[in-house]
Amino acid sequence: MSVPRPRGVLCAALAACGLLLTGCFSTPATPSGAGEGRIGVAMLQPPRSGLSPLSDDAFKLSRWRTAETLVVLDANGDAQPALATEWAQVDERTWRFRIRDGVRFHDGSELTAAHVATALTAAAQASPPPRILDGVELTARSEGDDVLVGTADPDPLVPQRLSSPQLSILAPAAYRPDGTVDPLRAGTGPFVLTAVNGTSGATLDRFDGYWGEPATASGIDVDFVPDGGARAAALRTGTADVVEAIPVGQVSLLDPALVHEVPMPRTNTLYLNTERGPFANPAVRAAARAAIDRATLVQNVYEGRADVAAGLLGPALPWAAPGRDTAEYAAALGRRPAPAPVTGVPIALGTFTDRAELPEVAVLLEQQLEAAGFVVTQDVREYSFIEADALAGAFDAFILSRATVLDSGDPVAYVASDFTCEGSFNISQLCDAGVDAAVREAAATPAGPERRASILRAEAAVLATDAAVPMLHERVIQGESARVSGVARDPRERELIMPDSTVAGSTP
């Protein structure tokens, strides 16, 4: 039978490795069910907004299974029941959600439709609003056991939006008059957040009043460990059971059986300026596309721990690859022009230093493009100093690591922002009537197989222009000790510790 690990043990292990971070670990709270199995988690980023569910910290609350949403998403991005048991579209701007009976918050209060409406209204009125509601005017009101959710404009993705951890439903007492939200003992999940020690750590205990299957583990002990070497050392020494985001350079020091690679909805793409410069010529863009050896980039920069890109959307979306196997998709790509011969064509290539791999990608990419006849000048800066120039079209080519699926679990917003005439993140300066029409069709299609098919038609329309050359899809490396099982490996990074996650010595 295991006992709760004191965080000092982990600090001692890291100190022995010369990796101790000052003040990195919190003093543990006394857990309930002492003597039963508790799961130790080493996480990459400390909270940035006091674990407010209205911020990106909401994803931590979701990964610890303490805060829950009305719906969750399956692997395809389709909505499934959670705190709502069913839903239906009333009209093009209104949806009705039936709230689950028998749910209690961690403070003992009962979940009601009125509480749900209050929580959603607080999110909609927050300043700034949660990212999932950017550009969306959302309202919520209760009607008996139901909640009516309205939007100013027709939105076929309302259920998917409500799956975002930023729209978690917390107890009424969590919402303060000053607009802040305190998640302590306020969720509905199988684990209750009982203590938070600033940016050092957090403690969660099993919630015996959970409406679903009870948790097997008696609790979770979280440490925030920004240093990648320290996280790897925690796994290597057995002082953490689950470790987020192990750096590629640390993997060789670990037992391969403890290392698990998770495909991320993030694509490393070369954006080509279609408005001016040499890449305004589609045939020259085709020459750049033909010059790129994706497999070499994956092997040399990512040590093989990435996936060669066949499209904008990668293996984190399991429906993407099989959906490309159509005559329509092949015909769209078949319309691309043949590569033009290039000799001494100068191009300005930009990227940024914030993601350590990108400057290395730029070096190899320069070699590949110069072998094809381009003359490359690199401009590599911190992202905050280069973003404005990239968006203004100051570069002929720009390397970007880009999330392709945002909080709704749907890639249409990414395609629209990056590749349409009015797109807010259109580094390629692309304005193509066919692309815009395909994206509009995808955006208006209800969630499900038809929407996924229309998204791939939009992807093919973009790739047919050669405005973007997807090179590789990134993975995140997750560590799991030999004593832990049932941990989620989630590309969306919404799930981690599950109700059936267990360590040696756990008893339900």
DSSP string across 385-408 = HHHHHHHTT--SEEEEEEESS-TT
CA 369 – CA 278 distance, rounded (Å): 13
CA 54 – CA 62 distance, rounded (Å): 12
Asked if residues 239 and 254 have their Cβ atoms less than 8 Å apart, the reply is: no
Please, which pLDDT band fits residue 25 given cuts at 50, 70 and 90?
A: very low
Phi, psi of 133 (to 5 degrees): -105, 10
List Cα–Cα distances, 26 to 29, 173, 220, 332, in angstroms: 9, 26, 13, 55
Question: Both ends of the chain: CA-CA distance in Å?
Answer: 13
Strands 38-43 and 219-224: parallel
Neighbours of 162 (CB within 10 A): 29
CA 463 – CA 289 distance, rounded (Å): 10
CA 406 – CA 265 distance, rounded (Å): 9
Which pLDDT belongs to residue 33? 33
Neighbours of 450 (CB within 10 A): 11
What's the whole-number mean pLDDT along residues 495-499?
96
Assigned superfamily of 263-475: Dipeptide-binding Protein; Domain 3 (3.10.105.10)
Neighbours of 367 (CB within 10 A): 13
**Which residues does residue 287 pair with via DSSP β-bridges, in sequence order?**
none
Q: What stretch of H or E contains 372?
A: none
CA dihedral sign, ordered 328, 329, 333, 334: negative
Question: What's the token pair of residue 11?
Answer: 């600090």
Residue 9 pLDDT > 70, yes or no?
A: no
**Which residues does residue 473 pair with via DSSP β-bridges, in sequence order?**
267, 307
Give the pTM: 0.84
Phi, psi of 45 (to 5 degrees): -105, 135
- In the chain, where does the domain assigned CATH 3.10.105.10 lie? 263-475
Provide, rounded to the nearest whole percent, the portion of the chain with pLDDT above 70. 92
Please, which pLDDT band fits residue 49 given cuts at 50, 70 and 90?
A: confident
Q: What stretch of H or E contains 60?
A: helix 58-63
Neighbours of 199 (CB within 10 A): 15
Fold of 68-178: Dipeptide-binding Protein; domain 1 (3.90.76)
Question: What's the token pair of residue 269?
Answer: 């793409």
Condensed to tens digits (0 to 9), the pLDDT of residues 135-161 reads 889 999 999 999 999 999 999 999 999
Please, which pLDDT band fits residue 505 given cuts at 50, 70 and 90?
A: low
Please, which pLDDT band fits residue 36 given cuts at 50, 70 and 90?
A: low
CA 179 – CA 186 distance, rounded (Å): 16
Please tell me the class of the 1-66+189-255+482-508 domain.
alpha beta
CA 147 – CA 239 distance, rounded (Å): 44
Residue 3 pLDDT > 70, yes or no?
A: no
Q: What residue type is assigned to position 187 of the chain?
A: G
Asked if residues 221 and 441 have their Cβ atoms less than 8 Å apart, the reply is: no
Question: What's the token pair of residue 380?
Answer: 């590599």
Residue 12 pLDDT > 70, yes or no?
A: no
Range from 22-31, 94-103, 252-261, 338-347 carrying the lowest mean pLDDT:
22-31
Give the chain's mean pLDDT: 90
Q: Is 508 helix (H, G, I), strand (E, B) or coil?
A: coil
Residue 481 is given by DSSP the state -
Which pLDDT belongs to residue 177? 87
| 466 Cβ contact partners less than 8 Å away, ≥ 6 residues apart | 272, 282, 285, 286, 288, 289, 336
- In the chain, where does the domain assigned CATH 3.90.76.10 lie? 68-178
CA 360 – CA 158 distance, rounded (Å): 40
- In the chain, where does the domain assigned CATH 3.40.190.10 lie? 1-66+189-255+482-508
**DSSP states along 157-182:** THHHHTTSGGG----GGGB-TTS-B-
CA 377 – CA 458 distance, rounded (Å): 32
What's the whole-number mean pLDDT along residues 364-370?
98
Q: Is 144 left (phi over 0), alpha (psi -120 to 50) or beta?
A: left
Residue 411 is given by DSSP the state S
Asked if residues 162 and 149 have their Cβ atoms less than 8 Å apart, the reply is: yes
Residue 249 pLDDT > 90, yes or no?
A: no
Residue 110 is given by DSSP the state B
Asked if residues 418 and 390 have their Cβ atoms less than 8 Å apart, the reply is: no
What's the whole-number mean pLDDT along residues 451-458?
96
